[in-house]
């Protein structure tokens, strides 16, 4: 049996030909699962408890426009939102990998020279 966050018991439903058991989830919150062995009293099983979050907008991974993002964040005064065009261009700068590679080679050569003395 599954207990809703308000304590009401929810009916379990087993899928035909499967070991999967489900219950309706009418509200967000913590749902507690009770198991009842063939012999013995029902008891809570904390390892089976689960949390339901029902707002599908929180799982929506589509891109939003800059105006919509500003509206969701409370307007342009509450957050800085970079222009999509500028963000898509990326930052152009001086690549550091060549200088770091040169420093690494010099460090290895310097270590070799110091080790021979």
Residue ranges of the alpha helices (H) in 1-117? 66-72, 84-89, 97-116
Structure tokens at 85: 């065009």
Q: What is the 8-class DSSP label of residue 64?
A: -
Report yes or no on whether pTM surpasses 0.75: no
Rounded Cα distance between 7 and 28, Å, is: 13
> Can you give 6-32 as a three-state secondary structure string?
CCCEECCEECCCCCCEECCCCCCEEEE
Residues in the chain: 117
Assign 69 a pLDDT band (cuts: 50, 70, 90).
confident
Structure tokens at 67: 């105006």
- What are the pLDDT digits (tens) for 24-43? 888 888 989 888 888 888 88
- Is the pLDDT reported for residue 80 higher than 80? no
**Domain locations along the chain:** 2-60, 63-91
- Is the pLDDT reported for residue 95 higher than 70? yes
């Amino acid at each position: 049996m599954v207990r809703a966050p308000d304590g009401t018991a929810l009916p379990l439903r087993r899928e035909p030909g499967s070991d999967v058991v489900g219950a309706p989830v009418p509200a967000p919150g913590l749902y507690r699962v009770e198991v009842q062995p063939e012999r013995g009293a029902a008891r809570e099983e904390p390892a089976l408890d689960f949390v339901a979050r029902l707002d599908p907008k929180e799982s929506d991974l589509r891109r939003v426009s800059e105006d919509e993002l500003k509206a969701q964040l409370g307007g342009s005064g509450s957050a800085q939102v970079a222009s999509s065009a500028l963000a898509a261009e990326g930052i152009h700068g001086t690549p550091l990998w060549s200088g770091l590679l040169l420093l690494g080679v010099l460090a290895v050569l310097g270590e070799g020279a110091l080790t021979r003395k």
